[in-house]
Amino acid sequence: MTDLTFNAVRKSFGPLEIVKGIDLAVKSGEFVVFVGPSGCGKSTLLRMIAGLESVTSGQIVIGGEDVTNTPPAQRGIAMVFQSYALFPHMNVGENISFGMRLAHQPRELIAKRVNEVADILQIKHLLDRRPKQLSGGQRQRVAIGRAIIRNPKVFLFDEPLSNLDAALRVQMRLEIARLHSELGATMVYVTHDQVEAMTLADRIVVLNSGRIEQVGTPMELYENPANLFVARFIGSPAMNLFPARVVADGALQLAAGAKPVAAHVGAAADTKVTLGVRSEHLAITSPEQAMLQAKLVAIERLGSENIAYLEAAESPDPVAVSLPHTTVPRVGEMLPIGLSGGVTHIFGEDGNRI
């Protein structure tokens, strides 16, 4: 399979710059997920790989070839659209074989390849049906089939699961993962759902306002977010952030006059920082060990665990704390909350980790 490289890629629509200088190297056979909030440029980037959007400056290289000015059909890519984009007037077989028929490939070859692809995706029984007669998941498979039959160097997925209901989404996620391990192809996948990103990706590219915030494996992003944006974006519930001040020996003071939290922050005293702690690294402690006192405003009972949301002066947003499913404090209670597990993240005033 092939690798994909972005060199200083920029994209503007008129005066508006959407992609502000992307450098990225995707390894052969990797499953890379572009993730980020709406408007961050992830779809634009994907469409630039496909050739559906032009590149304002920079280069896109696929398999060692500069494809920046090559038409989409000659780049060796295949794309699965969010809306599946199946031709309503063709049946499944014709949809899948569309590209081959355009290229006037021999009929026997087309039939053979369509059958192979239909086998992989288990849609052989649907070959004569029209898209209107298929369910969402089936349409999705046909769209993937149309991509597979091209033997592309890079597979592109544009939020393919957004139109599916929750249960189907989980099922299709597994199928796409299975597909990747079977084909071993280079895949670039765009989603706004960080759960999809975490579960499918070999590496995740977090994008924000046209720039890369961080690139790394899911666990790297989860355990070592490079800045506040990534810290908040990855992980559900989002990481709790506490503004704090560095005091003597690197300890942190969350509020004026409060007991400092033991830490080893390598910054000068009086520096303003942000302390980040995930919900599973906070717990209800004894008052002596507590970092802060917070009032319970809501509790979500998920079955396997509970998430408590508390109001505290130390944090502008509600503080999320993971609790065992048997612990059910009362709404309105003041609870002592402290660190548990010793995993904290410190971010400087510029938002980057220290």
Partner 1 sequence: MQAWPGVAPLPSPAVLIVGNLVEQRTRLWQIALLALPLAVFGLIVVWPLASSFYYSFTNWNGFGAGYDFVGFDNFAQILGDRLFFNAIVNTVIWMIAAIILPSGLGLILALLLDSRVPGASIFKTIFYLPICLSAVIVGQIWIWIYQPDWGLLNTLIGAATGEDANFAWLAKPGTALYSVIVAWSWQQTGLSMVIFLAGLTAVPSDLLEVSDIEGANTFQRIWHVVLPLLRPATVVVIALSVINSLKGFDILYIMTGGGPFNSSDTLAMHMYNESFKKYLMGYGAAISVVLFLIAITIIFFYFRQLKKVDEIYD
Partner 2 sequence: MTSAAPPRAGAGGFDAWKAATLAILIILALVFLAPTVGVLLSSIKSTRDIALGNLWSMPNSVYLANYIEVLTNPAVHTYMLNTLLVAVPATIGSIGLGILAGYVFAKLPFRGSNLLFLVLVAGMFFPPQVILIPLFRLFNGLGLIDTLWPVIIVHIGLGIPICTLLMRNFFATVPNALREAAILEGANEWQVLTRVALPISLPALAVLVTLQFTWIWNDFLWPLIFTQSDNKRTIMLGLVSLKGQYSVAWGVQGALSLIATLPTLIVFLFFQRYFIKGMTMGAVKG
> Which residues in this chain contact partner 2 in the complex, by CB under 8 A?
48, 51-55, 68-72
Return the number of the residue (81 or 175) whose C-beta is nearest partner 1.
Answer: 81
**Residue 250 interacts with which of partner 1, partner 2, none, CB < 5 to 8 Å by class:** none
**Residue 70 interacts with which of partner 1, partner 2, none, CB < 5 to 8 Å by class:** partner 2
Longest dimension (CA), the chain: 81
**Residue 102 interacts with which of partner 1, partner 2, none, CB < 5 to 8 Å by class:** partner 1
Instruction: Classify residue 84 as left (phi > 0), alpha (psi -120 to 50) or beta.
Output: left
Q: How far is the CB of 69 from partner 2 (least distance, A)?
A: 3
The alpha helices in 51-193, defined as continuous H runs, are 92-96, 98-102, 107-121, 136-148, 166-183
**Residue 87 interacts with which of partner 1, partner 2, none, CB < 5 to 8 Å by class:** partner 1
Question: What order of strands is seen across the sheet that includes strand 334-339?
Answer: 282-284, 334-339, 292-301, 305-312, 315-324
Return the number of the residue (70 or 82) whose C-beta is nearest partner 2.
Answer: 70
Tell me which residue of 189, 158, 181 sits closest to 4, measured CA to CA.
Answer: 189
Q: Is 99 helix (H, G, I), strand (E, B) or coil?
A: helix
Q: How far is the CB of 96 from partner 2 (least distance, A)?
A: 22
Q: How far is the CB of 72 from partner 2 (least distance, A)?
A: 7
Residue linked to tokens 């560095």: 246
Number of H helices, E strands in the chain: 9, 19
Q: How far is the CB of 133 from partner 1 (least distance, A)?
A: 10
Q: How far is the CB of 52 from partner 1 (least distance, A)?
A: 5
Contact between 100 and 109 under an 8 Å Cβ cutoff? The reply is yes
Return the number of the residue (21 or 99) whose C-beta is nearest partner 1.
Answer: 99
Q: How far is the CB of 341 from partner 1 (least distance, A)?
A: 46
Residues 6 or more apart from 233 whose CB is under 8 A from it? 35, 36, 37, 194, 206, 208, 213
Q: Is 66 helix (H, G, I), strand (E, B) or coil?
A: strand
**Residue 103 interacts with which of partner 1, partner 2, none, CB < 5 to 8 Å by class:** partner 1
- Catalog residues that contact partner 1 under the rule CB under 8 A: 50-52, 71-74, 77-79, 81, 83, 85, 87-89, 98-99, 102-103, 130, 132, 146, 150
Q: How far is the CB of 317 from partner 2 (least distance, A)?
A: 33
**Residue 53 interacts with which of partner 1, partner 2, none, CB < 5 to 8 Å by class:** partner 2
How does DSSP assign 175-213, residue by residue? HHHHHHHHH--EEEEEES-HHHHHHH-SEEEEEETTEEE
**Residue 251 interacts with which of partner 1, partner 2, none, CB < 5 to 8 Å by class:** none
Return the number of the residue (110 or 198) whose C-beta is nearest partner 1.
Answer: 110
